[in-house]
Amino acid sequence: MAAPPRRPLLVFLAGLLLVASLATLAEAIYEDQVGLADWHQKYIGKVKQAVYHSQKSGRRRVVVLTEENVLSSLDLRSGDIFWRHVIDKNDPLDQLSLSLGKYVITLSSGGTILRAWNLPDGQMIWETNLQTSTASDPQLLIMSNNKVAKDNLVLVSAGRWIYAVSSIDGAISWEKEFSFDGLEIKQVFQSSENDIVYAVGISGSSKLALYQLSAKTGEILKDVQESIPGELCGEVVLGSDDVLVALNKARSSLFLIEFKSERISYNKVHLSDLVQDLSGTFKLQSLSNGIIALQTSSAVSLLKLKGTDGLEVVQRFDQPAALSDALTITEKDEAFAIVQHVGSQIEFLVKFTSDISSESIREKVNIDQNRGNVEKVFLNSYIRTDKSHGFRALVVMEDHSLLLIQQGEVVWSREDGLASIVDVTTSELPVEKDGVSVADVEHNLFEWLKGHMLKLKGTLMLANADEVAAIQALRLKSSEKNKMTRDHNGFRKLLIVLTKAGKVIALHTGDGRIVWSNLLPSLRASRFGGIPSALRIYQWQVPHHSVMRENPSVLVVGKSGAESSAPGVFSILDSYSGEELNSMKLDHSVVQIIPLTLKDSSEQRLHLIVDSNSNAHLYPKSPDALDVFLHEMSNLYFYSVDIQTNVIRGYSLQKSCDINGDEYCFGTKELWSIIFPSDSERIAISETRKMNEVVHTQAKTIGDHDVMYKYLSKNLVFVATMSPKAAGDIGSALPEEASLVAYLIDAVTGRILHRVTHHGAQGPVHAVLSENWVVYHYFNLRAHRFEMAVIEIYDQSRADNKDVMKLILGKHNLSAPITSYARPEVVVKSQSYFFTHSVKAMAVTQTAKGITSKQLLIGTIGDQVLALDKRYLDPRRSANPTQQEKEEGIIPLTDSLPIIPQSFVTHSHQVEALRGIVSIPAKLESTTLVFTYGVDLFYTQLAPSRTYDSLTDEFSYALLLITIAVLVAAIIATWIWSEKKELRDKWR
């Protein structure tokens, strides 16, 4: 009959309070939480063209075009992006120009699409489709000082066509198709004095044609054709006002062609007479006033034209150098810039074409050594306060970064290599050495309480504007998340990314800043003849136990050329400093890289690299690693998917190798192959489980207390094939001729566990495989909507084990060894749903122990990432779930998957040109770290089942303290009161 003791009640109350505060935590975030756990970085990619605003406009802006197909306007003072458009890869941007000082004109898709953009805000003004055959080298010319109207005509030439388009509304003013057979127009230019347009074209390899057109009507005023003996390679530049310079096919001599007179006359000059040791590819570039630059990979020569008589070398730069276009300074004079490497610095030279031998500016600039060579220079001038001309230049470096150089200094730099990430891995940060006491962090109790009071006010919506700002500042200031040490929750990590330029960059997950970067010498194009390509990045050494003192390291694998037989390059970097520990050029090619789960005694992870001769090479090459490997070799299998020949093959490893004497080389033996019939099925995609995935439970208890065992095999491979007609874009196939076949294959035996055909389905297919399920996205031509299907696979052979008696008597088969060779008895469940959007990438959340429920991360066509609960893709969903199923949490079946705006993990940001989504488990089980990359980068923390194992930032300690204080006071008051009453009763 005793009342409940008070102390547990207190705990209970506190518990209730905690639950109450957690319940308010929604999946989505509040607007004022933006930037707390996430960051978003915008990039543009490697700049290939840049146009400055005219000085008159007063704005210091530059419009750039990049290799990532981005058009952007940048602030010249800070390098910030004013506006930006990421154009689709199918619509490559070729040319860029400014018109009337207020329009940006772009030419794309091989000269077929002309667009005008508003310069201040980037709004598209007009778009004109031009009917040409797509040319490899379309030209764009904005005509100046056209006195006909207040309109600048835009001339576009591609193939045999020339179009003149009004720059105000995009209307075609005139068009001309030249009837000359096989003509390709190489140069279009306007004569300075009259309204005549010259067009120079080449037909075949030896015919040169020259046309003079009226700028107003496009009427041919004059046309001349000339046959030039010795073949032309197609490279033609305008040397001076009346001389063209063309390169011959053997790339050994130049033709100097005079074209302004009645007949075309030409003169041939041998390049070897001018420049010695001319090897490899080189580029002709015309500066004005008869100066021509000849650029090779190692040197730049400046040549001066002497009429058609010949050329003379004016100057030669023997360092790797880059040259800008000529920039008009005065009526007669033009300037250009040369940037070359001198030791560890770069030298910035500005010359005038009138006086080529002397320099106007010679400045030395210190730059980061990890940027490589200078690749491009864009010169710009400004008027100094003393009315003289000052120069600045945008410099594009080998690592794709963009720098602004002015007065001998780098004013700003943009790390635009991050727009082209190839692969991502992570690394832990160093362990904190000296324990930091709580007092250091929360240095003042009063401050701490004040902060929490503010937060409390914020949660109760009582804070005014100033206080809200104070709260925001307080949150961002908490430097906890930006520390360079490992944290208890595993939120602080290094994201190590490999970019297309061969640069490895480590980003801190706290705020996305660059911790270190290293342009790998082995992946630099300037070192070798071929163009090296970066392939993958892996964790090489993750120290635990015995080698705890060592730093972790990462492995970068690349190829030294574009073709598949090119030898590989291999580099190991320290994860904390970015220092290259080891680098080697492999003597074999790299076709497939297989990271193994095995580790040698120094915790280096074993990797197998398969070359084009189907030999497998073991790394690291240490006897210790070999011992570990040989022990496990008989249990190792791998498979390869050959999309070209439409075959999947499975292999085992053999000791012998073609290369004698190399004990680290292993032969492979083909065990099985699945050959798909090419006329009906083409491999579209293959997907397998992530190596580091952890599965917590092997069984799933369903509503009626039955148990289903998941078929958990690391060797499960999902392959989707499509009928050849369905391989194209959506509009191209009819539902009858399109089909998609999904396979689940065991990669050790080659056994097809499940096969399902979707008739009337079409690609592109995106898939993700995790635990015992696969989810894939495709287009349903019949319904004309996108669909997502799920297949879950369960192990039937273990289904008998649910009998308790059998378990007690030991008649279960739980302890029987599981082997891939046993014929699996599997049960497959599947279902499909409509999904609104196209998909660019798909991933699944990964957590440390695999307990937390999973979410699919879907990169949509709008460059957003949607987190979709796996519960929506459950084949056991039905239209009317029973009571038991409802209790289990099964959602009633709907024909389409819901898109809840709050579950976009990227909230109001867009990850432009989204390519990949990576989920990294944190140490805290509830939380996973999500990194999304495309042209932009986005990082956030995600808790698929909410943060059930920790209090968040939002938790109001002040409220808890106040409640406790009030309760204690109440207890004391009641106690005193009760005591008094008791005393009174006793006296009675």
Partner 1 sequence: MATSFSRRGHLLLLLLAAVASACLGTAAANQAGSGEGYTIAGRIKIDGANVKGFGLPAKTSNTKVILNGGQRVTFARPDGYFAFHNVPAGTHLIEVSSIGYFFSPVRVDISARNPGYIQAALTETRRALNELVLEPLKEEQYYEVREPFSVMSLLKSPMGLMVGFMVLMVFVMPKMMENIDPEEMKQAQEQMRNNPVSFSSLLSRAQG
Which of the residues 946 through 985 are near partner 1 (CB under 8 A)?
A: 963, 971, 974-975, 977-979, 981-982, 985
Q: What residues between 78 and 137 interact with partner 1 by CB under 8 A?
A: 83, 85, 87-88, 90-91, 112, 115, 121-127, 129, 131-134
Spell out a b/e string for 822-850, using b for 16 or more CB atoms within 10 Å of the CB, else e.
eebebebeebbbebeeebbbbbbbbbbeb
**In whole angstroms, how close is the CB of 123 to partner 1 at the nearest point?**
4
646 vs 639: CA distance, rounded Å:
14
How many alpha carbons fall within 13 Å on the CB side of residue 373? 18
Closest CA to 584 of 530, 533, 500, 522: 522
**In whole angstroms, how close is the CB of 656 to partner 1 at the nearest point?**
48
**In whole angstroms, how close is the CB of 152 to partner 1 at the nearest point?**
20
**In whole angstroms, how close is the CB of 891 to partner 1 at the nearest point?**
19
**In whole angstroms, how close is the CB of 34 to partner 1 at the nearest point?**
8
372 vs 519: CA distance, rounded Å:
7
**In whole angstroms, how close is the CB of 987 to partner 1 at the nearest point?**
13
12 vs 382, which CB is nearer to partner 1?
Answer: 12
Q: Binding segment for partner 1 among 12-20, 349-357, 434-442, 750-758 (CB under 8 A)?
A: 12-20
**In whole angstroms, how close is the CB of 139 to partner 1 at the nearest point?**
18
925 vs 696: CA distance, rounded Å:
11
Q: Long-range contacts of range 642-648, CB-CB < 8 Å, 24 or more positions apart?
A: 643/682, 643/683, 646/675, 646/676, 646/677, 646/678, 646/681, 646/682, 646/683, 647/673, 647/674, 647/675, 647/676, 648/673, 648/674, 648/676, 648/683, 648/686, 648/717, 648/719, 648/745, 648/750
Binding partner 1 (rule: CB under 8 A), the pick from 438, 439, 445, 461 is: 461
50 vs 71: CA distance, rounded Å:
10
Spell out a b/e string for 870-892, using b for 16 or more CB atoms within 10 Å of the CB, else e.
bebbbebbeeebeeebeebebbe
19 vs 809: CA distance, rounded Å:
44
769 vs 747: CA distance, rounded Å:
14
318 vs 979, which CB is nearer to partner 1?
Answer: 979
Q: Binding segment for partner 1 among 24-32, 98-106, 221-229, 358-366 (CB under 8 A)?
A: 24-32
Q: What residues between 361 and 420 interact with partner 1 by CB under 8 A?
A: none
Q: What residues between 904 and 933 interact with partner 1 by CB under 8 A?
A: 904, 907-908, 910
Q: Binding segment for partner 1 among 253-261, 283-291, 454-462, 587-595 (CB under 8 A)?
A: 454-462
State the Cα angle at 70 between 64 and 75, rounded to 5°: 40
Closest CA to 215 of 177, 168, 176, 262: 176
CA 423 vs. chain centroid, Å, equals 8
**In whole angstroms, how close is the CB of 899 to partner 1 at the nearest point?**
7
**In whole angstroms, how close is the CB of 20 to partner 1 at the nearest point?**
5
219 vs 729, which CB is nearer to partner 1?
Answer: 729
139 vs 289, which CB is nearer to partner 1?
Answer: 139
**In whole angstroms, how close is the CB of 475 to partner 1 at the nearest point?**
15
Q: Binding segment for partner 1 among 187-195, 682-690, 708-716, 830-838 (CB under 8 A)?
A: 830-838
501 vs 524: CA distance, rounded Å:
8
Binding partner 1 (rule: CB under 8 A), the pick from 55, 272, 565, 732 is: 732
Q: Does residue 30 bind partner 1 (CB under 8 A)? A: yes
Binding partner 1 (rule: CB under 8 A), the pick from 17, 100, 454, 581 is: 17
Which two tokens mark 784? 């004309």
Q: Using CB under 8 A as the criterion, what x/- string covers residues 478-507 for binding partner 1?
A: ------------------------------
Q: What residues between 133 and 172 interact with partner 1 by CB under 8 A?
A: 133-134
630 vs 730, which CB is nearer to partner 1?
Answer: 730
Binding footprint of partner 1, residue count (CB under 8 A): 76
**In whole angstroms, how close is the CB of 743 to partner 1 at the nearest point?**
23
Alpha-carbon dihedral angle through residues 959, 961, 962, 965, given to the nearest 10 degrees: 160
Q: How far apart are the first and last CA of the chain?
A: 26
Closest CA to 481 of 514, 512, 518: 512
Q: Does residue 645 bind partner 1 (CB under 8 A)? A: no
Q: Binding segment for partner 1 among 4-12, 214-222, 358-366, 688-696 (CB under 8 A)?
A: 4-12
219 vs 982, which CB is nearer to partner 1?
Answer: 982
Q: Binding segment for partner 1 among 2-10, 473-481, 501-509, 576-584 (CB under 8 A)?
A: 2-10
Q: Binding segment for partner 1 among 215-223, 320-328, 606-614, 783-791 (CB under 8 A)?
A: 783-791
Asked if the bond preceding 892 is cis, omega within 30° of 0, the reply is no
Q: Does residue 19 bind partner 1 (CB under 8 A)? A: yes
**In whole angstroms, how close is the CB of 164 to partner 1 at the nearest point?**
18
412 vs 231: CA distance, rounded Å:
46
Binding partner 1 (rule: CB under 8 A), the pick from 661, 731, 810, 817 is: 731
Say whether 201 sits in a helix, a strand or coil: strand
930 vs 941: CA distance, rounded Å:
6
522 vs 956, which CB is nearer to partner 1?
Answer: 956
**In whole angstroms, how close is the CB of 649 to partner 1 at the nearest point?**
31
| One-character DSSP codes across 683-750 | EEEEEE--TT-----SEEE-TTS-EEEE---TTEEEEEEE-GGGGS-GGG--GGG-EEEEEEEETTT-
Binding partner 1 (rule: CB under 8 A), the pick from 22, 28, 547, 702 is: 28
Please state the length of the chain. Answer: 988
Q: What residues between 861 and 890 interact with partner 1 by CB under 8 A?
A: 861-864
13 vs 691, which CB is nearer to partner 1?
Answer: 13
691 vs 638: CA distance, rounded Å:
13
